[in-house]
Structure 1
Amino acid sequence: MGMCCSIHASPSENQNAKQLTDDERVAVSRLLHYLDNRDGVDFFSGDPLSSLATLVYSDNVELQRSAALAFAEITEKCVKPVSKDTIQPIIELLKNSDVDIQRSAGAALGNLAVNNANKQLIVELNGLEPLIKLMGSPNLEVQCNVVGCMTNLATHEGNKAKIATSGALVPLINLAKSSDRRVQRNATGALLNMTHSDANRKKLVDAGAIPVLVSLLSTTDPDVQYYCTTALSNIAVDPENRIELAKSEAVVIPSLINLLEPFSTPRVRCQATLALRNLASDLTFQSSIVESGGLPYLLDLLKSHSANLVLAAVACIRNISIHPENENVIVGKGFLPPLVDLLDKFDNEEIQCHAVSTLRNIAATSENNKMKIAQTGAIEKCKNLINKVSPTVQSDFTAFLAVLALDENLKPLLCKVGIIEVLIPLTHVNNIEIQGNSAAALGNLSSKLGNYDPYVKAWSEPDGGIKDFLLSFLKSEEPTFEHIATWMMLQLLESGDPRLLQLFKDTPEFKEQISKFAFGRNSQTEGSGSEADSLTYKSRRAVPALASRVYSYF
């Protein structure tokens, strides 16, 4: 508090002091007393605050400087919710033309803006306008303090929309290019805080944030790297923003991949991977990540001991695997073993879901890839885990098995490991996705199996076996379920296995239910619009014809 004390410290200042009003002299004296004996003093209310306010509204610039410096020091050591009587004088100091006052007032307001209630009050008291004006100051200290304050204000949800429409975005983007590292950190931090809603992200993009954030990916400062990668990751959530990012594709993808290197901090590597994941929601970026050499880095991250890094990497590779042309490349780079390992390596259902979904994508269009996946032990692992994982993971596991069950070469292995016995109980769970996926897997497996011993064996067991599963689906009044069950009955009957034909005939309910489908519905019911394109409508249309073919066996 040298500046406050120095009011009485030198002849020139003593001469200045003679010009003080009586109120100002009293305020200075009291303030010095409070500062020298500050234990238990609340500077944000009562006489201490009144003394500070007297200095703030003085015509004496030295007193104003002293007040600003006092506020800066006090708020550095004590931050709590304060009233407008504290904040309003500091905002007034921001409007002062004196650089020292601006610097100290910016620091004080930034300190108070750590508290949520204060963040809201500062904006309500029109604190944004002087802060924005001072972002154009030529003084780096002033810039640093006011942008730091803006960064804190932007963490409050209620402030973000107001900041976005206040005229602050363009100055913040300009200051993100500052040669001063502190200013740059605060500016990019503020921009990051503005990326948590789609409306604000759109305003940032319109204000020209993308080229600046992309250019800063090459900085050596870990904090700026983190703020920029995270901001870009958030911006890339929106499809329209990815179109804008595509204009910088030649720079943004290699720059993000470069940040996956081990020399980057873990949080930067994680956010860079998440940014790539969000970009890889589009086919263009799915290709460019592979073409730019991103796969080896993602493979390394999959083997990390950090669950956060693994989650980011497996989510990214899942999106990349959506592109059909990437499937064989991913397999060729050695991703299958670590992906299968992730099915049970971490107690993290997101990792499990992304891993098995990636395997499903890779298997979807290639018989060769299905076989390679089977050779990793993935089928056995799924079978052993499927009743131990959460319903969300079960849904993805069963969808994966349904894809594998399409491969004629894998059907014997699936039967051998006991997949049928595992799937049947899952057709009765209280989860429509798990039920449908499990039934689809059983149906796919039943087509052109060759040896139908496993289905005969599982006719009544477990949990009522194939019989009860099919009957429950036929009676479900759910068109998709009815479709699956009717189609599967046809596969079993067309197998030519007399045992299966007899088992169906021994259960009259099958003939009764199939008769309703074949002859009891108007198969010509037309749909319109989106209904005609829906899976439910298509199932409803398909069932009568299938049922007629099934009925011919009875």
Structure 2
Amino acid sequence: MGKKAKKECEEAGKKVKKEESPCKETFEPLPFEGKTPATIVLLLSSPEEDILVKACEAIRIFAEKGDENKVCLLGLGALGPLCQLITHINKLIRRNAFMALGIMANNGDVRIALKKKDVIPSIIDKLSLAEDAVVHEFATLCLASLSVDFVCKAQIFDNKGLPPLIQLLSSPDPDVSKNSLEIIFNLVQDHQSRLAVRELGGIPPLLDLLKSDFPVIQQLALKTLQNVTTDKDACNTLREEQGFEKIMDILSNMEFRDLHAVALRVVANCMSDSETVQLIQNGGGLTRLMEFVLTPNMPEIQSNAVKCIARVAQSSDNRKLLHEQNVEKVLVELLSLEDVSVKTAACQAVSAMSSHLASKDSFRDLGGIPVVVRLLSDDSLVLREAATQALSNLTHSNQLNAFAVHEAKGHKLLVQQLYGSCPRTVANSAATLGNMAGQEVIRCSVLSHRAIQALVEPLKSRDTQVLVNSTLCLAVLACETEARAELLRARGLHPLVNLLQTYDKEVLHNACWAINVCASDVPTAVEMCKLGALEMLQQINQSVTRRSSFSRLAMISLLNFNLPVKYSLTGHLASTDVISEGFYDAGKVPAGQRILTLVELSEQPVNEQRPIILVNTATGKKTEDDNQKDEIQPEPPTEKPWKMTDDVSLQILLKKAKEFIIPLSDEREQCACLARLVSEAMGGAVEMEKMHEFPWVLHLSELKFQLQSNIVPIGLIRRGIYRHRALLFKCLADCIRMSCTLVRGEYNRAWNEVVLFNGNPSNNERSSKPCRYIVDLMHQPGRLLTASTPAAVHYQTTGI
């Protein structure tokens, strides 16, 4: 600036200050050239509108040359000013700023930075129809880049971006409609957006885009419809808008062959609706589908066509229709093709069709089952999952198909699938094996391939369906003694018992059923009790929401095969509960408390509590085989586990009972004679008034001290009262097959109840009704007290 001009300006300034009026003189327009990006970025902050227009245009041109330039502009801070300029009041500035921002947003680094600018509301605001097409094009281009990100999708939805985007689908500018369509496609990956598109009337404009001159728009419209029609209401809207006719037009036009695969996916989504199926059938759609299925060398189209058939087969009426068209033959042929996607879709269709009884038989008659079995060896995890699902449905309630799978050696491959990592495959395999194992021959074959060991890991799964099917399969297999022994060896009882803690009803029911089956022998029953199964079942049966007939049955079975625990918990042994070697009376145990095993009790130091009474009916004599085993396999010099001592006194009593009581013909006489034998062995009759003088407590304490154990064999007791005598009576009665119960009362009381017929058996006189009696073993041994009479009640209670 010259000195003269400077002086004039100063004078003008003074004049303004003095006269308080603005200077009327301005600069002439000044042309400029920006040589560096940094300069242009600085100009984005200019107050001059013309400069802003040119700066935005220069930024766009520079950014169009490549990602390097876009990253450079990002580093120079161009993003912030551009985000502000898209809301400028000047339309030209706004348009140029959008163009620059839209071009830059294609870059990943720019997109990440743009997410932090909270610019989405401003962009959506400019999607109104009042803006020109250029703004629409680059605003939607910018959103299209951002909408691939989950957070940005949520922001577009929350800021009500869908309504204007749906409007712009009908834009005459193909770039605007394409960009808007791309944004909507990204949004409808989420459920809430899929519902919103239908509610906002988005399906008609999507269908209109199927007539576009641009294949990319047609493809994108179909893909969007594919996502939207996963909702049933959207399928109904599609039908109401004659959408199927438009899609079938595409499928019937070979010029649109590149669109057929996606179009078939849209059709597949809607095929489960019977009204839609009827509509397509009336238009010859099913015939066209079958043509696609048989189209050679086009696996993508074939697989999608088969998926349509699988969807059609979801309805029983549709399955009947497909069966009449011999769809089973076509599917069996497809199972032998090379393409994995086609075979997978065919297996899924077989699964769906297998709900139709006639189709199950057709697949077997057509030789389809061995073909599906071979697919279990395929490398594709998806195909193996579909194959196991097909076999599960084929063998459900169908013995002939189960045998067909067995003949194809499918059981061996299915056991191997139980070790797989895919939960669906494991669940399907367990279900199929469970279906097959209902036949004894197949069950033995399945067990020979170590199926029990393979099921142990699935029992630890967190997948509900895996647990449901695995427990059910185990329940079927555990019918065999060999299976229960294998489960015990494989440590599978622990995860099974743990399932009693589940709150899933179906898993809990199946687990209880499996426990019920596994409790069929003493070793498994004892082990499950040791793992806390009884305590868990007690809690379940006390719960209003969790208890069921399954849990009650499991509890009963577990107790029936673990009589010591049953007696401790319930205080009652029925006449059918036969005491055997190893039975012990640990006393009454509160509900929810675990009953210790005999070995665990043997490890406890001698205490002041009442002794555990042990019943050991074993003779203790070794057979020749036992002697040979001892000679061949001498025990290692390690600490020996606890072993029950021989109860010689009990053996003598048992011998006397067999010699003197069994020959008696009268049941009453047998009962009285056995009662006197028990009484004599345990101190004889004791008058009620002198019970306090009977030295049974001291006697048992001395036995514990002598044995240095809390466990006392019942045959060693010479001074026994009610509970000891009743147990001995039950033990001897069971050994000579005389029916009686054992009931625990309060205060060391216990008694036996017998059922006898009245009358004289020598004269063949018997009353029609049996009578229940309580056996007196204490005061007048051999006396039979009619149940519920005062005398019987007096014997059963403290009443002294």
Partner of 2:651: none
Partner of 1:259: 250
Partner of 2:259: 268
What letter corresponds to residue 362 of structure 1 in structure 2? M
Q: Out of 66, 69, 85, which is 1:78 matched to?
A: 66
Partner of 1:324: 316
Q: Out of 336, 349, 357, which is 1:358 matched to?
A: 349
Q: Is the Cα contact below 8 Å between 2:385 and 2:424 reproduced in 1?
A: yes
Partner of 1:104: 96
What letter corresponds to residue 325 of structure 1 in structure 2? D
What letter corresponds to residue 464 of structure 1 in structure 2? S
Greater relative contact order (Cα < 8 A, sep 6+): 1
Partner of 2:394: 404
Superimposed CA distance per residue, residues 128-181 of structure 1 (whole angstroms, 9 cap, x where no aligned partner): 425632542364344333333333333333322222233432222212112333
What letter corresponds to residue 520 of structure 2 in structure 1? I
| Aligned partner of residue 259 in structure 1, secondary structure | helix
Superimposed CA distance per residue, residues 99-132 of structure 1 (whole angstroms, 9 cap, x where no aligned partner): 5544433322211111133235446163642563
Partner of 1:498: none
Q: CA deviation at 1:289?
A: 5.1
Superimposed CA distance per residue, residues 273-304 of structure 1 (whole angstroms, 9 cap, x where no aligned partner): 33333344666656655555443444344446
| Aligned partner of residue 345 in structure 1, secondary structure | coil
CA RMSD of aligned residues (A): 4.7
What letter corresponds to residue 385 of structure 1 in structure 2? L
Q: How does 1:124-203 map to 2 (within 5 A)?
A: 124=117, 126=119, 128-129=121-122, 132-133=125-126, 135-137=128-130, 139-203=132-196
| Aligned partner of residue 251 in structure 2, secondary structure | coil
Q: Distance in 2 between matches of 1:260 and 1:475?
A: 48
What letter corresponds to residue 514 of structure 1 in structure 2? S
Q: Out of 448, 471, 479, which is 1:464 matched to?
A: 448
| Aligned partner of residue 29 in structure 1, secondary structure | coil
Superimposed CA distance per residue, residues 296-343 of structure 1 (whole angstroms, 9 cap, x where no aligned partner): 444344446455444444444333322222213334445434533444
Partner of 1:47: 39
Q: CA deviation at 1:381?
A: 1.3
Task: Report the CA distance shift for 1:193/1:409 in structure 2 as closer, same or farther (over 3 A).
Answer: closer
Q: How does 1:308-347 map to 2 (within 5 A)?
A: 308-333=300-325, 335-343=327-335, 345-346=337-338
Q: Is the Cα contact below 8 Å between 1:483 and 1:543 reproduced in 2?
A: no
Task: Report the CA distance shift for 1:441/1:64 in structure 2 as closer, same or farther (over 3 A).
Answer: closer
Partner of 2:520: 514
Q: Distance in 2 between matches of 1:244 and 1:338?
A: 31
Q: How does 1:24-35 map to 2 (within 5 A)?
A: 25=30, 28-31=31-34, 34=35
Q: How does 1:527-542 map to 2 (within 5 A)?
A: none
Q: Distance in 2 between matches of 1:70 and 1:429?
A: 59
Q: How does 1:204-283 map to 2 (within 5 A)?
A: 204-237=197-230, 239=231, 242-250=232-240, 251-263=242-254, 265=256, 268-280=259-271
Partner of 1:13: none
Q: Distance in 2 between matches of 1:390 and 1:542?
A: 42
Task: Report the CA distance shift for 1:544/1:330 in structure 2 as closer, same or farther (over 3 A).
Answer: farther
Partner of 2:763: none
Task: Report the CA distance shift for 1:387/1:346 in structure 2 as closer, same or farther (over 3 A).
Answer: same
Partner of 1:370: 360
Q: Is the Cα contact below 8 Å between 1:113 and 1:149 reproduced in 2?
A: yes
Partner of 2:47: 57
Q: How does 1:422-433 map to 2 (within 5 A)?
A: 422-423=413-414
Aligned: 1:118 with 2:81: no
Q: CA deviation at 1:227?
A: 2.4
Q: Distance in 2 between matches of 1:149 and 1:429?
A: 45
**Percent identity of paired positions between Structure 1 and Structure 2:** 18
Q: Is the Cα contact below 8 Å between 2:520 and 2:557 reproduced in 1?
A: no
Partner of 1:38: none
Partner of 2:679: none
Unmatched 5+ stretches in structure 1: 1-18, 35-40, 493-500, 549-554
Q: Out of 354, 360, 372, which is 1:382 matched to?
A: 372
Q: Distance in 2 between matches of 1:151 and 1:221?
A: 18
Flag the structure with higher helix content. Answer: 1
Task: Report the CA distance shift for 1:318/1:144 in structure 2 as closer, same or farther (over 3 A).
Answer: same
Q: Is the Cα contact below 8 Å between 1:277 and 1:319 reproduced in 2?
A: yes
Task: Report the CA distance shift for 1:307/1:547 in structure 2 as closer, same or farther (over 3 A).
Answer: farther
| Aligned partner of residue 170 in structure 2, secondary structure | coil
Task: Report the CA distance shift for 1:314/1:512 in structure 2 as closer, same or farther (over 3 A).
Answer: closer
Q: Distance in 1 between matches of 2:220 and 2:422?
A: 40
Q: Is the Cα contact below 8 Å between 1:95 and 1:102 reproduced in 2?
A: yes
Aligned: 1:295 with 2:295: no
Task: Report the CA distance shift for 1:137/1:233 in structure 2 as closer, same or farther (over 3 A).
Answer: same
What letter corresponds to residue 318 of structure 2 in structure 1? N
Partner of 1:4: none
What letter corresponds to residue 337 of structure 2 in structure 1? K
| Aligned partner of residue 377 in structure 2, secondary structure | coil
Q: Is the Cα contact below 8 Å between 1:314 and 1:354 reproduced in 2?
A: yes
Partner of 1:69: 57
Q: Distance in 1 between matches of 2:298 and 2:250?
A: 17
Q: Distance in 2 between matches of 1:301 and 1:432?
A: 32
Superimposed CA distance per residue, residues 226-280 of structure 1 (whole angstroms, 9 cap, x where no aligned partner): 222222222234x4xx325423423233333333345465663333233333344
Q: Distance in 2 between matches of 1:446 and 1:313?
A: 35
| Aligned partner of residue 30 in structure 1, secondary structure | coil
Q: Is the Cα contact below 8 Å between 1:132 and 1:167 reproduced in 2?
A: no
Q: Is the Cα contact below 8 Å between 1:154 and 1:160 reproduced in 2?
A: yes
Q: Distance in 1 between matches of 2:518 and 2:96?
A: 86
Superimposed CA distance per residue, residues 180-224 of structure 1 (whole angstroms, 9 cap, x where no aligned partner): 333322222222232232344444444432333244344454233
Superimposed CA distance per residue, residues 376-404 of structure 1 (whole angstroms, 9 cap, x where no aligned partner): 43212123332334555444433433433
Q: Distance in 2 between matches of 1:183 and 1:514?
A: 73
Q: Distance in 1 between matches of 2:485 and 2:159?
A: 77
Q: Is the Cα contact below 8 Å between 2:123 and 2:139 reproduced in 1?
A: no
Q: Distance in 2 between matches of 1:266 and 1:149?
A: 32
Q: Distance in 2 between matches of 1:271 and 1:422?
A: 35
- The size of the alignment, in residue pairs, is 485
Q: Distance in 2 between matches of 1:505 and 1:146?
A: 69
